[in-house]
């Protein structure tokens, strides 16, 4: 536990502040760009994320530190400027662009979001225990440390966001999530770990359901139950958001993927406006503003959204060509989008970074493949597989409804495409699909998250169709219709219960892992806090990043010179391999002085995941047997040492 004095109850004010940060500026800016109240609310967190991410880059490029002042400029002054321009347009007698999305019944939005928040908050409360806890995975120190690094450096720019692992030469990393958290820290003063857990809850319970609601209400608006049902069903799948939240703890993918439905909704609605020769200016502006948020949220999210958008574009343009009957000219959009769909795998093959093309071979039996396909590749737990099978059946019902209506087949095509890719990836590995799956590191569990995201609209449509049968039955025999509606809603609640039960069973073991397998324990956090009191606040500390002491950077003001097991650079390599010889080796001494290292922490048990391919930190662990190092303090299981004076030989 990194913040032991925090509970989910005491985090409520922080959660409210985070919601205000994400929704108020974003809704104001979206409204100024022409969005009505409903689209503005659904798009607000994405627009705010884009504003913070782009504002952080520009602020850094002009040489200004990110702080409350620059944040207020981008979050307050920019929306005010947009509204000023809109007011001038109105005053000139012209009509500004507007995003004319279908109306929504607000009580359905409110009840749906209340259900989503109740489900998400219950899972997070029971499974995590406290917002001060973390899943015991290697990436957590990176996600937490990156925010601390942003605050220390005064830059949230994604252009050099990976300064944590590469302090001498920061490189690009899509860090919109970290920038949002860093900004929230500035306004609330809450611990980074608390805000990151709160952001996960907000993403799962508000951002993602609102995006699905907007997509369904905008593009499948004929059915009025969809918005309400989305709130109940948005978190029943395990693959997203719960599994990737703890498997590798891909928090940035959770955050970025939550934006996929909203981006798709804006793009698709804008394209329909273009093809109908209606006012599409507002949709175009909103889409342009939304793109940076999802792009810098997570690379896989923007690519998944692009794939869905291309499939929709092909269908919409073919429908347009059949309607206008302009021969070849009318088919040009369809030809262009079809060519784009063909080019995607080619571009994926060319653009794949070397570090993201790791091949994974699988050879599952036919029975396992069939079970996996019909259960969304759920775990071997019987309850989870039964719930997943029911969701598959509902998705199939929704797909049949869409095909019969002949208007929403793109939802079916999207699911089939991702379903097929996931099936091959799970059953046979990356041999055939790696050009399409490298943005997910060719990991089936990460890719499966997108499959359930594109399946969810079909599940909602399937449940809605079952409820529509109740209305027909009521016309013939009212009690029968009421009974059928009750059965359907009981089934929905049963799926929610299964989802909640399995989500807790999935998340809790990783948050409450045994001390012998943990990256950091409560006792170790307490020890690090005690040792922190024996050092100046600006001290730089060397520690083996496999033994827990690297979390000093998160729980105390001091900085660790090797913050993660993935940190690199010439000086860090020299220190890792030679620190114990600092008094006698001028090269090591020079590296220590350049990095301002003045203390060392030893002790702690090595985490169970340590393997080959990483630096050898034995020279850090063995300073106790080297001459010159002086014990400053001890707090089991750690010992704090003072680095001796040394000479660089010059």
Q: Is residue 5 part of a domain?
A: no
pLDDT at 402: 92
Please name which of 167, 256, 144, 269 lies closest in space to residue 520, comparing C-alpha atoms. Answer: 144
In terms of C-beta distances under 8 Å and separation of at least 24 residues, what long-range contacts does 59-67 make, across chains too?
59/155, 59/157, 60/155, 60/156, 60/157, 60/159, 60/160, 61/157, 61/159, 65/154, 65/155, 66/150, 66/154, 66/155, 66/156, 66/182, 66/183, 67/154, 67/186
| C-alpha pair distances (Å), 206 with each of 121, 169, 399, 457 | 11, 37, 26, 16
- 476, 511, 546 - which closes a domain: 511
Q: 10 Å Cβ neighbour count for 97?
A: 18
Instruction: Write down the mean pLDDT value for the chain.
Output: 90
Q: Is residue 3 part of a domain?
A: no
Question: Does an H or E element contain 57, and which?
Answer: helix 37-61
Of residues 362 and 232, the one with the higher pLDDT is: 232
Interatomic CA distance for residues 453 and 222, integer angstroms? 21
- 511, 532, 548 - which closes a domain: 511
| C-alpha pair distances (Å), 74 with each of 69, 79, 146 | 9, 8, 22
Q: Is residue 649 part of a domain?
A: no
**Same structural domain for residues 595 and 547?**
yes
What is the pLDDT confidence band of residue 475, given thresholds at 50, 70 and 90?
low
Give yes or no for residue 144 having a pLDDT over 70: yes
pLDDT at 319: 83
Give yes or no for residue 356 having a pLDDT over 80: no
Say whether 107 sits in a helix, a strand or coil.
helix
**Same structural domain for residues 171 and 207?**
yes
pLDDT at 1: 64
Give yes or no for residue 648 having a pLDDT over 70: yes
pLDDT digits (tens, 9 = 90+) for 588-632: 999 999 999 999 999 988 875 545 445 678 888 889 888 889 999
Q: What's the DSSP call for residue 99? A: B
Q: 10 Å Cβ neighbour count for 363?
A: 7
* Tally of domains within the chain: 2
Q: Is residue 603 part of a domain?
A: yes
**Same structural domain for residues 469 and 567?**
no
Its domain, for residue 610, covers 522-642
pLDDT at 650: 65
Q: 10 Å Cβ neighbour count for 68?
A: 10
- 477, 511, 545 - which closes a domain: 511
Contact yes or no for 560/552 (Cβ under 8 A): yes
Q: Is residue 455 part of a domain?
A: yes
Number of residues in the chain: 650
**Same structural domain for residues 507 and 584?**
no
Q: Is residue 343 part of a domain?
A: yes
pLDDT at 318: 85
**Same structural domain for residues 498 and 559?**
no
Q: Is residue 90 part of a domain?
A: yes
pLDDT at 615: 66
Q: Is residue 538 part of a domain?
A: yes
Burial class (CB in 10 A: 0-12, 13-18, 19+), 477: exposed
pLDDT at 249: 65
Angle at 338 between CA 334 and CA 344, to 5 degrees: 145
**Same structural domain for residues 492 and 568?**
no
pLDDT at 374: 87
Interatomic CA distance for residues 216 and 209, integer angstroms? 11
**Same structural domain for residues 62 and 211?**
yes
Q: Output the 3-class SS for 385-405.
A: HHHHHHHHHHHHHHHHHHHHH
Contact yes or no for 337/317 (Cβ under 8 A): yes
pLDDT digits (tens, 9 = 90+) for 31-48: 999 999 999 999 999 999
Give yes or no for residue 531 having a pLDDT over 80: yes
**Same structural domain for residues 473 and 578?**
no
pLDDT digits (tens, 9 = 90+) for 299-314: 999 999 999 999 999 9
Give yes or no for residue 355 having a pLDDT over 70: no
pLDDT digits (tens, 9 = 90+) for 199-239: 999 999 999 999 999 999 999 876 778 999 999 999 999 99
Interatomic CA distance for residues 51 and 156, integer angstroms? 12
Give yes or no for residue 441 having a pLDDT over 90: no
Residues 343-354, mean pLDDT to the nearest whole number? 74
**Same structural domain for residues 86 and 131?**
yes
pLDDT at 250: 84
pLDDT at 499: 96
Residue 595 sits at φ, ψ, to 5 deg, of -95, 0
DSSP-derived secondary structure for 392-460: HHHHHHHHHHHHHHTS-HHHHHHHHHHHHHHHHHHHHBTTTTHHHHGGGTT-HHHHHHHHHHHHHHHHH
Please name which of 588, 590, 554 lies closest in space to residue 574, comparing C-alpha atoms. Answer: 588
**Same structural domain for residues 501 and 553?**
no
**Same structural domain for residues 338 and 458?**
yes
Question: Does an H or E element contain 91, and which?
Answer: helix 78-91
The side-by-side arrangement of strands in the sheet containing 540-543 is 559-560, 540-543, 597-603, 638-642, 630-635
Of residues 250 and 23, the one with the higher pLDDT is: 23
**% of the chain with per-residue pLDDT over 90:** 61
pLDDT at 321: 81
Contact yes or no for 435/467 (Cβ under 8 A): no
Give yes or no for residue 121 having a pLDDT over 90: yes
Please give the distance of CA 269 from its chain centroid, rounded to a whole number: 24
**Same structural domain for residues 532 and 607?**
yes
pLDDT at 608: 59
């Amino acid at each position: 536990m990194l913040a032991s004095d925090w509970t989910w109850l005491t985090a409520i004010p922080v959660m409210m502040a985070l919601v205000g940060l994400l929704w108020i500026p974003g809704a104001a800016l979206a409204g100024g760009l022409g969005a009505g109240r409903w689209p503005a609310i659904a798009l607000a967190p994405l627009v705010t994320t884009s504003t913070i991410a782009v504002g952080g880059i520009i602020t850094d490029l002009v040489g200004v530190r990110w702080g409350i002042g620059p944040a207020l400029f981008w979050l307050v002054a920019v929306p005010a400027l947009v509204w000023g321009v809109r007011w001038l347009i109105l005053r000139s007698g012209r009509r500004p662009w507007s995003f004319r999305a279908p109306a929504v019944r607000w009580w359905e939005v409110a009840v749906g979001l209340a259900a989503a928040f109740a489900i998400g908050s219950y899972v997070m409360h029971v499974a995590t225990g406290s917002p001060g806890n973390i899943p015991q995975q290697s990436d957590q120190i990176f996600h937490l440390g990156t925010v601390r690094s942003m605050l220390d450096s005064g830059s949230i720019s994604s252009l050099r966001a990976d300064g944590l692992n590469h302090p001498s030469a920061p490189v690009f990393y899509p860090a919109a999530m970290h920038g949002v958290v860093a900004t929230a820290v500035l306004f609330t003063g809450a611990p980074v770990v608390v805000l990151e857990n709160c952001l996960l809850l907000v993403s799962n319970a508000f951002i993602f359901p609102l995006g699905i609601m907007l997509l369904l209400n905008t593009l499948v608006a004929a059915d009025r139950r969809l918005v309400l049902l989305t709130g109940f069903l948005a978190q029943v799948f395990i693959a997203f958001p719960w599994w990737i939240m703890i498997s590798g703890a891909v928090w940035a993918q959770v955050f970025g993927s939550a934006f996929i439905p909203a981006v798709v909704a804006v793009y698709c609605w804008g394209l329909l406006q273009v093809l109908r020769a209606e006012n599409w200016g507002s949709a175009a502006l909103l889409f342009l503003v939304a793109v940076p948020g999802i792009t810098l949220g997570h690379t896989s999210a923007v690519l998944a959204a692009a794939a869905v958008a291309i499939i929709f574009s092909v269908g919409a343009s073919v429908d347009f060509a059949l309607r206008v009957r302009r021969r070849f000219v009318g088919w040009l959009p369809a030809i262009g989008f079809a060519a784009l769909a063909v080019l995607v795998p080619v571009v994926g093959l060319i653009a794949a970074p070397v570090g993201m093309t790791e091949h994974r071979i699988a050879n599952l039996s036919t029975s396992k493949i069939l079970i996996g396909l019909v259960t969304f590749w759920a775990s071997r737990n019987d309850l989870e597989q039964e719930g997943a099978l029911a969701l598959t059946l509902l998705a199939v019902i929704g797909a049949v409804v869409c095909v019969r209506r002949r208007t929403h087949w793109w939802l079916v095509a999207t699911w089939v495409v991702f379903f097929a890719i996931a099936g091959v990836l799970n059953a046979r590995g990356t041999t055939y699909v790696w050009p399409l799956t490298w943005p997910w590191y060719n990991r089936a569990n990460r890719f499966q998250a997108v499959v359930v995201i594109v399946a969810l609209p079909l599940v909602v449509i399937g449940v809605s169709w079952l409820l529509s049968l109740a209305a027909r039955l009521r016309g013939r025999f009212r009690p029968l219709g009421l009974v059928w509606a009750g059965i359907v809603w009981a089934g929905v609640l049963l799926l929610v219960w299964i989802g909640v039960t399995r989500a807790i069973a999935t998340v809790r073991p990783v948050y409450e892992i045994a001390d012998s397998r943990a990256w950091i324990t409560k006792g170790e956090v307490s020890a690090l806090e005690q040792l922190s009191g024996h050092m100046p606040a600006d001290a730089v500390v060397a520690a083996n990043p496999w033994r827990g002491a690297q979390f000093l950077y998160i729980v105390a003001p001091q900085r660790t010179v090797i913050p993660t097991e993935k940190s690199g650079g010439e000086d860090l390599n020299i220190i890792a391999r030679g620190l114990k010889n600092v008094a006698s080796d001028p090269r090591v001494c020079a590296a220590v002085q350049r990095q301002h290292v003045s203390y060392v922490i030893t002790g702690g048990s090595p985490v169970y995941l340590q393997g080959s391919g990483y630096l050898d930190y034995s020279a850090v662990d063995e300073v106790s047997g080297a001459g010159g190092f002086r014990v400053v303090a001890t707090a089991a299981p750690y010992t704090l040492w003072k680095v001796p004076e040394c000479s660089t030989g010059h």
